[in-house]
Structure 1
Amino acid sequence: MKQPPARSGHPPLRKHVLSLGVLPVVALLLAVLPGCAAGGSVTGAGAGTTANDRPSGEITVFAAASLKQAFTELAGTFEAEHPGTSVALSFAGSSDLASQISQGAPADVFASADTANMKKVLDAGLADGTPENFATNTLAIAVPPGNPAGVTSLKDLARPGIKLVTCARQVPCGAAAARVAQAAGLTLSPVSEENAVTDVLGKVTSGEADAGLVYGTDIKAAGTRAAGIQFPEAGSAVNTYPITGLAGGRNKAAAHAFMDLVAGPEGQKVLAAAGFGPGGQ
């Protein structure tokens, strides 16, 4: 870095610095240029964010309904680790959230339950940077406690008289249900198609449905309110969850810090405990 010109009547600044010795010079330069220190940039924090920047203020996070339990916990962790911040969470089907973002809904972060709805946001130029895959999830069959309809496999969902509920096809869990049915050569005829996986689970736990195709994480979160049945065909439709900051976000520093938490060891531990698999590439 160029030293400023010496003032008239004073010895050049360079002579004063040389007389200070090597270590004070290093300390002086670091004090003058904190952004030039090694490791000054926070991973994934974006341009203009340095290690000395502290997240503050509110961020709004749009997240897939299946992330409700994990992200609620992570939001609390984030606020505790960064005093002065607050996280407003909005959960819904990923397709609904992508539509809201495209219509100008204010948000800082978008976490989708599939790459297809994230691509809509990316292609519209509404993402801030490249989305990062942070989790995976697989379908399972949810049935009411006691499994009164005797469902034991995917093919049972095609039996006459079975009241099956799935997500609508534009929703990630609905698209996954269609893929597993096709892979198994089955025709499923749900009595209801919902816009969020939590609504599917709600119809099962309330006794309105004999079975529902949801994520394994949803069954785990339901506890004793529902039982889960794994089926091998689910492996043909594993959902990958990406997360990104949004170009219209008003608090990019805090948004990137929250995404770092989700993708980092602490976030991955919470997601794993909720039943999610690690993010794919």
Structure 2
Amino acid sequence: MTRTTRRNRRTLLAVGGAAALLALSACSSSDSDSSSTGSGSAASASSSDKLSGTVTVFAAASLQESFTTLGKEFEKAHPGTKVTFSFGGSDSLAASITGGAPADVFASASPKTMKIVTDAGDATGTPATFVRNQLEIATLPGNPGKVTSLKDLTNKALKVVLCDKEVPCGAAAQKALDASRLTLTPVSYEQDVKAALTKVELKEADAAVVYKTDVHAAGDKVEGVEFPESADAINDYPITLLKATRNTEAAKAFIALVRSAEGQKVLTEAGFLKP
């Protein structure tokens, strides 16, 4: 074999080897691209699993302003969702839930009213306390009745309103009165704290025992009077996912918002106490 022939054969082998390497590289690149596309599709699919639909929340009347704000924030963060609320006395809401009313979330103003729902087997998981609330006396602007204490409300010249004793704010007020050994005869018992507050706002009553949060929400429509006995009648507020929910993931996400730092900020700014 001539030197030229051997040189040509080495050249052909080198070219063939290079071609093989290029082919392997191309295969590797193709596999890598395929893997990358697959993971990208998975990530895309994951990110496309967005929340949607309606979340129905039954909540204590005292949560109206705060939850309305959080509902709007939730809808803004999750386009395609809608949060609807039913506010009222916790006992009435609990009765509605156990009676079959469709709802996804229940936020109560006391563990006692929450227990109505859990005992009936209508809650999923263990309810979590997310805030606490303290009582305060709401008087007419300027406090013309000169109310400075819980005892002042026993003055028969004053028209005083309380929440019904079955409602958490009414039960708390009665606890404070019992601890102080005071007897109070109100002109009316109201079905929820907002109804009691409205009596003062409309000047149909001189004073009402409500929550600090309600006095805060009313602004200059009423004047608040703190009383030390309220420290012994603070209500815990539990929240839970309901067994009958039709939108589990969105309902869980709303509860998570309520319990998050962002949700707690809204609630504490409204006057609620941290759990």
**TM-score scaled by length of structure 1:** 0.82
Q: Which residue of the partner structure matches residue 57 of structure 2? A: 61
**Displacement after TM superposition at 1:160 (Å):** 2.1
- 2:92 corresponds, among 91, 96, 116, to 96
Structure 2 residue runs of 5 or longer lacking an equivalent are 1-26
Deviation at 1:53, TM superposition (A): 3.8
1:241-270 per-residue CA deviation (whole Å, 9 max, x = no partner) reads 011110001001000000000000110000
Bigger Cα Rg: 2
In the alignment, what sits opposite 1:73?
A: 69
Who is 1:146 aligned against? 142
2:191 pairs with 1:195: yes
Residue 52 (structure 1) shift: 6.9
Partner residue in 2 for 1:208: 204
**Matching residue of 1:160:** 156
Q: Please identify, of 181-190 and 79-88, the stretch whose mean Cα deviation from structure 2 is larger.
A: 181-190
2:240 is matched with which residue: 237, 244, 248?
244
SS in 2 for 1:120: helix
Corresponding residue for residue 130 of structure 1: 126
Displacement after TM superposition at 1:20 (Å):
6.4
Question: Cα RMSD over matched residues?
Answer: 2.3
| 1:1-281 paired onto structure 2 within 5 Å | 31=39, 53-279=49-275
Q: What is the alpha-carbon distance in structure 2 between the residues aligned to residue 106 and residue 20 of structure 1?
A: 56
3-state secondary structure, aligned to 2:91:
helix
Deviations 1:187-236 (A, max 9, x none): 11111000110000000111111110000000000000000000100000
Residue 272 (structure 1) shift = 0.7
- d(CA) in 2 for partners of 1:218, 1:52: 40
- Equivalent pairs counted in the alignment come to 246
Cα offset for 1:146? 1.6
SS in 2 for 1:249: coil
TM-fit CA distance, 1:149:
1.4
Equivalent residue letter for 1:214: V
Quickly say closer, same or farther: Cα 1:136–1:52, change in 2 above 3 A. farther
Cα 1:259–1:20, aligned 2, differ >3 Å: closer, same or farther? farther
The CA distance in 1 between the partners of 2:250 and 2:28, in whole Å, is: 40
What is the rounded CA distance, in whole Å, between the counterparts of 1:20 and 1:59 in structure 2? 48
Q: Normalized against structure 2, the TM-score is what?
A: 0.84
Q: 1:76 to 1:156 in 2, by over 3 A?
A: same
Instruction: Using the TM superposition, give the Cα deviation of residue 185 of structure 1 relative to its aligned residue in structure 2, in angstroms.
Output: 1.1
**Higher helix residue share:** 2
SS of the residue corresponding to residue 148 of structure 1 reads coil
Paired residue type of 2:128: E
Q: Which amino acid aligns with 2:83?
A: V
Distance 1:54 1:103 in 2: 32
Amino acid at match of 1:164: V
